[in-house]
Amino acid sequence: MKDVAASAGVSLGTVSNVLNKPAAVSAATRERVERAMAELGFVRNESARQLRAGTSRTLAYVMLDGGNPFFHDVARGIESGAEDADLSLFICNSDGRAAREAKHLDRLVQQRVQGILITPVDPSASHLREIGRRGIPLVMVDRLGGTGDCCSVAVDDVLGGRIAIEHLTDRGHERVAFVGGPESIGQVRERLLGARQVWSELGRDAADLIHLPTEALTVAEGRGAGERLAGLPARRRPTAVFCANDLLALGLLQQATAIGMRVPEDLAIVGYDDIEFAAAAAVPLTSVRQPREELGRTAARLVLAEAGDPAHRHEQACFVPELVARASTAAVRHPARKR
Amino acid sequence: MKDVAASAGVSLGTVSNVLNKPAAVSAATRERVERAMAELGFVRNESARQLRAGTSRTLAYVMLDGGNPFFHDVARGIESGAEDADLSLFICNSDGRAAREAKHLDRLVQQRVQGILITPVDPSASHLREIGRRGIPLVMVDRLGGTGDCCSVAVDDVLGGRIAIEHLTDRGHERVAFVGGPESIGQVRERLLGARQVWSELGRDAADLIHLPTEALTVAEGRGAGERLAGLPARRRPTAVFCANDLLALGLLQQATAIGMRVPEDLAIVGYDDIEFAAAAAVPLTSVRQPREELGRTAARLVLAEAGDPAHRHEQACFVPELVARASTAAVRHPARKR
DNA sequence: TTGTAGGCGTTATCAG
DNA sequence: CTGATAACGCCTACAA
């Protein structure tokens, strides 16, 4: 800026004004300064701005699993929210590991980011609370901040479980499996809970809604669940499966195909999240859609609201999931119900 | 730091030393200072460090299509390289739009990032050259920097096209389609070129290697190509397809399934990139694998080398692709060749 | 081994 | 409307 000022024959302060309040500079001077900036190839130094301002022009999202497109879609929503406020978005991936998460968080605090959005490994971890104490707004994404000591955005997973099962029973299925785990994940618990609620409300036998636990929400685990499913004796084998997420569902579909089970004729499948690859599967998957991008946009809105207002009250936004029916649960002429 | 110094009863310089050259401080003082830092919850201010240092501790990757897992895998490789150098990675998505790309680049220059990795919308765009002139190391990822005025990492796409076709001809296919476009994308051109090379070397009739152009490398376009394929008269219809990337292949697989074509019996499919969802498809897809993470790691290495050495010579790393055979091209008892 | 001084590039303040 | 000046927090000489 000093060079620009010299080259334009004005003072440093004037250059600053051109940048920050152009209205306060005469058109002639302004143009002279702008020409000088262009000639010298001047680019604002963001770290200096930040140092002065005390905070960066950046938001950060720490996602739980970079291998799951769901989180990238959420990130896209956040980015669109950030853009509206002319902020950049820093994306990190904890990969489900608390240590990585902590390291990322540490860096972000050092960068003095304006706010942090996070889908945490453990929503009750102490390092999250630490962030709040530092005065950095934090919003939990896709996790209900039950304790209310921070903002959160989430989707009603109990309801999601309910509509999945309702759809399957509507389609005439009488023996259903829930595939998903570990139960340490809140989402898994709630989706299962919703499923069981509906099941019992319909007066079904609890034994006809079996739970096939998995160790993670991945394609590989979905395949494994498919194997176990196929190993069940025919009379106990479910005619439909509700998977805790789409990756599981894709793995399951693959395994089913491999062993010659037809979907949906021999086995109907419902996934969760409605990622693009669910719709793109060989047999398009029915899935419980979460408003991924809106989740992100809302999270961005909340974090900015908190950043802008010291007397901010924490808010818990909860969205409603929606069933998207596709071929994997299409009605079959002869429902797979052998008496 | 001033507060920490006061609280520990030492000078500001000593606190700095504890942080930057702990060896130069007596153990006793150091511990006193560290305790003070912990008590006060002191966290280094990264922007101040950056301002002083003149450059940030950050690398950036501008990817071409956030919806394609391929680029996320590359990003993961870059991140691992960045981590080794204790740098953060800033991930941006140009989404194939030059304007977005330029905007991101602009921000990154303002942030004074240490280096930029980019899969550019247009490798010859002027704003890329601009970056180099600013003295910021830039590495092109997955694009050969033909002109040699920057480093680049890429995979031999001509070779990739060759091995895909060789695999299909080995499997006995005599009529093959190449699905992909637009040809403005270098990769598409080269993969097609490689395919045609082999085809003619084998003395095949050029008319038996048809090109089904697409407008983008997406699942939806893959579906569309599938429709066009099905519309061909049986005698002209290829028995195998080579897709310019896995998203196309997945779309094609879906369309084929929808209209009752069996894969690989009626139609064999080869994809490109070997993203996870290729292996996870209902019929696991044969694909030409690119060493995605290594691509990223190498790119990170190159950009750091350039940043560290002013007398740096640009380097063009080129990797060798590898065919991963799966069910989508498995040998069939009765090759789908109706004379 | 410890303390002191100056400056990195911006922005805000305040007097012309 | 313009220009001088003092921070912002840290790092690195250099001096003690």
The count of domains in chain B is 3
Classify residue B92: in a domain, yes or no.
yes
In degrees and rounded to multiples of 5, residue A114 shows phi and psi of -70, -30
Mean pLDDT of A58-69: 96
| Contact, B11 CB vs strand D, < 7 Å | no
Q: Tell whether B90 is within 8 A of chain A (Cβ).
A: yes
Q: Whole-prediction pTM value?
A: 0.94
Query: B166 and B82 in one domain?
Result: no
pLDDT one-digit tens code per residue, A37-57: 999 999 999 999 999 999 999
CB B64 within 8 A of CB B120: yes
Classify residue A94: in a domain, yes or no.
yes
∠ CA A171-A172-A177, nearest 5°, is 90
CA closest to D11 C1', residue = B52
Task: For an interface test with A, give the residue of B46, B113, B269 to mutate (most A CBs within 10 A).
Answer: B46
pLDDT surpasses 70 at A338: no
Residues with Cβ < 8 Å from A322, sequence gap 6 or more?
Answer: A163, A288, A289, A291
Query: A182 and A265 in one domain?
Result: yes
pLDDT surpasses 70 at A32: yes
Q: Tell whether B69 is within 8 A of chain A (Cβ).
A: yes
Query: B144 and B76 in one domain?
Result: yes
CA of residue B13 to C1' of nucleotide D14, angstroms: 12
Task: For an interface test with B, give the residue of A37, A42, A44, A47 to mutate (most B CBs within 10 A).
Answer: A47
Query: A257 and A189 in one domain?
Result: yes
CB B49 within 8 A of CB B112: no
Helix (H, G, I), strand (E, B) or coil at B60: strand
pLDDT surpasses 80 at A140: yes
Minimum distance, in Å, between the CA of residue A65 and any CA atom of chain B: 12
Residue A35: domain span? 2-44
Classify residue A275: in a domain, yes or no.
yes
pLDDT surpasses 80 at A114: yes
Mean pLDDT of A48-68: 94
Identity of the residue in B43, B72, B282 whose CB atom sits nearest the CB atom of A283: B282
Query: A263 and A170 in one domain?
Result: yes
Classify residue A336: in a domain, yes or no.
no
- Whether residue B88 and residue A88 make contact (CB cut-off 8 A), yes or no, is no
Sorting pLDDT into bands at 50, 70 and 90, what band is A328?
A: very high
Residues 229-268 of A with CB under 8 A from B: 250-251, 253-254, 257-258
Query: B263 and B225 in one domain?
Result: yes
pLDDT surpasses 80 at A310: no
Q: pLDDT value at position B70?
A: 98
What is the DSSP annotation of B97-121?
-HHHHHHHHHHHHHTT-SEEEE--S
Query: A275 and A309 in one domain?
Result: no
Q: pLDDT value at position A24?
A: 85
pLDDT one-digit tens code per residue, B102-121: 999 999 999 999 999 999 99
Residues with Cβ < 8 Å from A30, sequence gap 6 or more?
Answer: A18, A22
Q: Tell whether B325 is within 8 A of chain A (Cβ).
A: no
CA of residue B51 to C1' of nucleotide D10, angstroms: 8
Q: In strand D, which positions have an atom below 7 A from any protein CB?
A: 1-5, 7-13
- Whether residue A257 and residue B51 make contact (CB cut-off 8 A), yes or no, is no
Sorting pLDDT into bands at 50, 70 and 90, what band is A334?
A: low
Q: Which stretches of chain B score pLDDT less than 50? A: 335-339
Residue pointed to by tokens 């150091």: B30
Q: pLDDT value at position B338?
A: 41
Q: Three-state SS across chain A?
A: CHHHHHHHCCCHHHHHHHHHCHHHCCHHHHHHHHHHHHHHCCCCCHHHHHHHHCCCCEEEEEECCCCCHHHHHHHHHHHHHHHHCCCEEEEEECCCCHHHHHHHHHHHHHCCCCEEEECCCCCCCHHHHHHHHCCCCEEEECCCCCCCCCEEEEECHHHHHHHHHHHHHHCCCCCEEEECCCCCCHHHHHHHHHHHHHHHHCCCCHHHEEEECCCCCCHHHHHHHHHHHHHCCCCCCCCEEEECCHHHHHHHHHHHHHCCCCCCCCCEEEEEECCHHHHCCCCCCEEEECCHHHHHHHHHHHHHHHHHCCCCCCCEEEECCEEECCHHHCCCCCCCCCC
| CATH number of the domain enclosing A234 | 3.40.50.2300
Look at residues A329, A334, A52 and name the one whose alpha carbon lies nearest to residue A168.
A329
Q: Tell whether B51 is within 8 A of chain A (Cβ).
A: yes
Classify residue A147: in a domain, yes or no.
yes
Query: A277 and A165 in one domain?
Result: yes
CA of residue B103 to C1' of nucleotide D14, angstroms: 44
Query: B250 and B175 in one domain?
Result: yes
Classify residue B196: in a domain, yes or no.
yes
Query: A199 and A181 in one domain?
Result: yes
pLDDT one-digit tens code per residue, A75-88: 999 999 999 999 99
Q: How far apart are CA B37 and CA A16, in angstroms?
A: 36
Residues with Cβ < 8 Å from B258, sequence gap 6 or more?
Answer: A327
Sorting pLDDT into bands at 50, 70 and 90, what band is A335?
A: very low
CA of residue B10 to C1' of nucleotide C6, angstroms: 20
Q: Tell whether A96 is within 8 A of chain B (Cβ).
A: no
Classify residue B189: in a domain, yes or no.
yes
Classify residue A119: in a domain, yes or no.
yes
> Nearest chain A Cα to B40, which residue?
A134
Helix (H, G, I), strand (E, B) or coil at B242: strand
Query: A131 and A35 in one domain?
Result: no
Q: Tell whether B42 is within 8 A of chain A (Cβ).
A: no
Query: B277 and B187 in one domain?
Result: yes
Distances (CA, A) of B62 to B66, B78, B101: 10, 11, 7
Residue pointed to by tokens 């009529």: B175
